Structure 1
Amino acid sequence: MSSSAPRPGTLDPELATVADALTSGGPDVFTRVREQAQAELAEQLARAELPPVEAVDLSAPADPAVPVRLFRPQRRPSSLPVFLWIHGGGFTAGSAEALDPFCAEIASRLDIAVANIEYRLAPGTPFPGPLHDCYAALRYVYHAARSLGLDENRIAIGGASSGAALAAGTALLARDRREVPLVFQLLDVPLLDDRLSTESMAQFVDTPGFTRAGAAAAWTAYLGPDQRPGDPDVSPYAAATRATDLRGLPSTYLSTMELDPARDEGILYALRLLAARVSVEVHSFPGTFHGAEIFAPGAAVSRRAAEERLRALARGLSVDADRRVRLT
């Protein structure tokens, strides 16, 4: 097995300090660094001169009900496109609340609505519970769109890491049930394959931010006690690469990081989407690792990734946002 350590010159120099912190700290370093970075980003956004947004707490009917926080520009047209966001955290950690500043920024910069979903976490609630939560939120937003001032014909879904796994699974479920028409999905550093069999998964066993062992633990927790990662009958709604037919899925933006164990499964999924005649934009950012944008949001490559994501979402929702997407 080849070494997973980044070769000299491969890691983006702006990410070196945070990479060292992530690889040399104790077992809780990931959580500490992430929380610190999220707090710093929230403070930065609070100081930014962005148009104000309002937040409305909603409850999607389900058992149990699914909390959804909807962000909308205070000055808005009567019918807003809406983006449903699903947070990451290896299926077992994280919260929608921690991503409220991120969702508010998107709503403000693009003049759209953003629905932030608080789904149940594994291992307490394994698959399909979290997926059902996300689909319940999507279904609720679609059916309540007009009363919420939303455009039911311009709904997108997205997430990061395990959140992207849930977004991809929700998009597959929406296609198959033919109940909610999605126009776009945004899959940011997605976890899509429980089999852990790609070259990047074999190569990057101890890279910063995320490791092969972390991927195995995440899938083990998500699939629950009755299944193991790699079992032949894992549902495609859990691991989207298990789907045999990708036709009819919405236009897609998919990003990966060069030094990420999950890199290849994302790229391979993008190629399969293209083969299924789905419009896809895919970008693998050089010198980066899984979660680099969270841990080092001020790095030039992180800012470039964030701007590109906003532009892709604007295109996916048919929003003219050229004057306001560029980050300051």
Structure 2
Amino acid sequence: MAVRYPPLPIDPELAAALELSREERIALDSPEKIPAMRASMMARQIELSVLTADGALTVSEVDIEGPRGPIPAVIGRPAGATTDVPVLLWLHGGGMVLHGHKGRDLVVLKEYALELGLGFVAVDYRVAPENPHPAPVEDCYAALQWTVAHAAEHGFDTSRVLVGGASAGGGLAAGTALLARDRKGPELFGQLLVYPMIDDRNDSPSAEQMAGLGVWDRAANEIGWTALLGDARGGPDVSPYAAPARATDLSGLPPAFLDVGTAETFRDEVLDYATRLCRSGVQSELHLWPGAYHGFDHSAPQAGLSLEAGEARLRWLRRLLG
């Protein structure tokens, strides 16, 4: 008989925020919901003037040369920097099916820029199902190559290039790091993997345990991965560049930060990936947030756990960059 796993409790502060947002939240329980979710996400994009109004940050928009045409991106850099700065290539979340490079992530990237003297390139990669694998990760890798090739124009330090992202963006960041290693491409300084989406098999105990939660649960996860991989999802021939949990060799990758909530679908795949990174000799830091569901810091940014998670990511970046 199959093992049944009881659902884990949600942190009370996060649970209250989840309940308040329940009516306005769109659950991805069928592929037909993707257009509505895209419209909702685009409605929450921020104006770039929000980032530049105080003059502390220089921000511009560019089109990166991609494999299939231009890839929109937002570039930011501390306005007062007088030397080349480290740069974080940032890949937004969205379950492999949503756009969102001008979302709340930019506010967080501004914090990183000002606290750490860090530049960033936030990328609007192609998404599924219109653009299945390998389109999204190839766009991300092209953006990495572009960032290094155009570093001098933007005052970026090519010896300190990081890749990072949240959710699907975290999975794409991990896939981009694997591509950079295997293609002997730009050498990465670190990878910031925020509750990354990395395993298409969707069969872990945590996927079962949190099924039906309504916040990127097992049903939504299947829809997102199927959009990316089609009938190959869950089968034997999935590329590790699409689903990094499939990689059998994790050696030679840059230092990694990973975090995940206890009450979310991705918990077990992230814990396993962190363990295997360490076994492969990759310096890694892992945080498991008790009672946190997927995307908790976006839906409840002022909650205690959200603030703590943000501080942990910032501390890791500060230590890594010295």
* TM-score under structure 1 length normalisation: 0.87
Q: Report the secondary structure of 1:167's partner residue.
A: helix
Matched letter for residue 306 of structure 1: G
The offset of 1:313, in angstroms, is: 1.7
Q: Deviations over 1:146-186 (max 9, x none)?
A: 22211000000000111111101000000011120001001
- C-alpha change, 1:38 and 1:54, in structure 2 (3 Å) is same
Any residues of structure 2 matched to 1:1-328 within 5 Å, and which? 2=4, 5-6=7-8, 10-21=9-20, 25=23, 28=26, 52-62=56-66, 63-98=68-103, 99-224=105-230, 227-316=231-320, 318-319=321-322
CA contact (8 A) 1:85 1:117 kept: yes
Does 140-149 or 157-166 show the bigger shift?
A: 140-149
Q: 1:36 to 1:292 in 2, by over 3 A?
A: farther
Secondary structure of the corresponding residue to residue 241 of structure 1: helix
What's the CA shift for 1:58? 2.1
**Partner Cα distance (2:19, 2:142) in 1:** 40
How far residue 38 of structure 1 moved from its aligned partner, in angstroms, is 6.0
1:61 is paired with a residue whose SS is: strand
Q: Is the 8 A contact 2:198 2:244 kept in 1?
A: yes
CA 1:47–1:65 in 2, change beyond 3 Å: closer, same or farther?
closer
Q: Matched residues in 1 for 2:130 and 2:96: separation?
A: 10
Gap regions ≥5 residues in structure 2: 29-36
Distance 2:195 2:26 in 1: 22
Distance verdict in 2 for CA 1:37–1:2, change over 3 Å: farther
Q: Do the aligned partners of 1:208 and 1:290 also contact (CA within 8 Å) in 2?
A: no
Cα shift at 1:36:
11
Alignment length, in residue pairs? 308
More displaced stretch, 50-59 vs 159-168: 50-59
Q: Is the 8 A contact 2:42 2:99 kept in 1?
A: no
Q: 1:38 to 1:101 in 2, by over 3 A?
A: farther
Q: Percent identity?
A: 38
RMSD: 2.6
Q: Is the 8 A contact 1:19 1:208 kept in 2?
A: no
Amino acid at match of 1:97: K
Relative to structure 1, the CA distance from residue 298 to residue 27 in structure 2 (aligned partners, 3 Å threshold; closer, same or farther) is: closer
Q: CA deviation at 1:25?
A: 3.3
Task: Tell me, in whole angstroms, the C-alpha distance in 2 between the residues paired with 1:282 and 1:140.
Answer: 30
Relative to structure 1, is the Cα distance of residues 206 and 29 closer, same or farther in structure 2, using a 3 angstrom cutoff?
Answer: closer
2: CA distance between counterparts of 1:268 and 1:259?
16
Structure 1 residue 18 displacement after superposition: 2.3
**SS of residue matched to 2:232:** coil
Q: Residue 32 of structure 2 corresponds to which residue in structure 1? A: none
